[in-house]
Structure 1
Amino acid sequence: MAFLSLLFMSSCFLTLSGLTFGDQSGKPVIVKEGDYAILPCSLGTNENIEFMRFEWKKEGTEEEVYIYDNGVGYSPALPGRVSHFRDDLKHGNASIRINNVQLEDKGNYTCNFPNRGKTFRIKLVVEPILKVRNVSGAAELYVTSHDQINGGVLLQCDVKNAHPKPTVEWQDSNNEIIPSEEPQVSKQGDRFYITLKATVKKSGRYRCVAKQEEINHQAQKEIYVYIYEKSDSATQGFPVWAAILIGVLVVVIVVGVVLKVKGYCLKKGRPPHRESFHL
């Protein structure tokens, strides 16, 4: 009997402390930055809450993340990014969906039913991704290509004004890292300046990628190079317009020669002109 009482009290405690619909383990919701997150919440009674008020808040903030009241839902804190599951309200589902989750969305959330005096809690964890960020110390990239050398093209990537120090690499169109020279690194104050060179021998698109995982920043610049193949050697350095002009001249000369020969033959085929001599 004592065991059953303890089990009942534990169940009540878990319900009131925020273990929510769809997740009875208390584990946080974990998503990657830019994805969507579903924060679960339910009274657990499967009753219709279409005409009941519930509120979502993030701990440490003043504005409500989402408010649903008598058929109307809206988000003061995240307008346009939060919605509820309208068809599931009749089953007691007060869960919300947050679209395009950002790093600043992480934290502890509460789902509150003010008319019932019940509050549920759930933690949202947002895992950062590497992307272009407008933050201080974000690496700035500049890429150039140099004249063809020994059948290849020299690519140069200059990374400027970076802090912390980034990792820099050249990649091909298949996202494969290509061999590069030893990077040239210099430092001015706390900012890093890096030059990375690589020689490529195939035409295609190449990109220089700089990663700064400490600030979740990744920048890249792409360049297209064309390398003359052996089959191009006959026309290498020979303008197309010159080839066309030569072709036209050849045709004109051939036509002129043909006409001249034809005229000569016609002239030879006429009876010779005889002059009369009188004695």
Structure 2
Amino acid sequence: MLGVRTAAAMKLLPVVSLCLLTCSETTSADGNVVVEEGRDVMLPCFLSTKKNIEGELFDWKKDGQKEVFLYDAGVHYNNGRSGQDEQFKGRVSHFQDELKLGNASIIIRNTKVADSGNYTCAFPRLQSQTFLIELVVGAAPKPSVTTLYQTKDWSLLQCEVQGASPKPTVQWMDSAGHVLPAEEPQVSQRGGHFYITLNATVTKSDRFRCVATQQEIDHTVYAETYVHINGESSIFSYSDDFNSLCVIHFLF
């Protein structure tokens, strides 16, 4: 269920959804893992039989091609084996002490948006058993709200979301939760991150909220501004994950 979460709260919950997988040696399983960019994440791969795999072969790939981590009877990418994709060099480790329990899970450190994708954990010598994990690395910065221009009758508000991933839906709302008419959003993309600017003109005194929603990672964050129309105008800006405010007085 989609709820309002602050960026600060997200830092306390780096893994929003984690499905620990177990299966027999003749089946495959699917799972989904969501993590905040910059955090470490575990991709699970367990044998329900708890078979000792210290002398076995297991191979992690991303999107069917990129070599993430390969272990073959004690030889792997972190102790001299070549072939690992540059994207993952120095960032992936396994659970050496738990191999005897059938644990082939890995940890990817300092995750990046580019790490998002489909990962497979395969045991070629165990009846081609394969685990499939979808990893979503999310970046969820708070919006920034600004008053671009104001008269006694109206105010032009601007909301900016810088570097979000996946692409968020950005909306202006009033205090009653009604979505406000707005200009066409300006959207650009760099390195898998989205940069969005949304302007709206308001004609009443109220508290207005810019809301950024990322349904794929079940995350919503917002920033607010209070606008008073007519006479003296005080603008009160507040972000839900900052304990700071700014009051600017305009006299007409």
Mark the structure with the bigger radius of gyration.
1
What's the TM-score once normalised by structure 1's chain length? 0.44
What's the TM-score once normalised by structure 2's chain length? 0.47
Structure with bigger RCO (C-alpha 8 Å, 6+ apart): 2
Structure ranking higher in helix proportion: 1
Structure ranking higher in strand proportion: 2
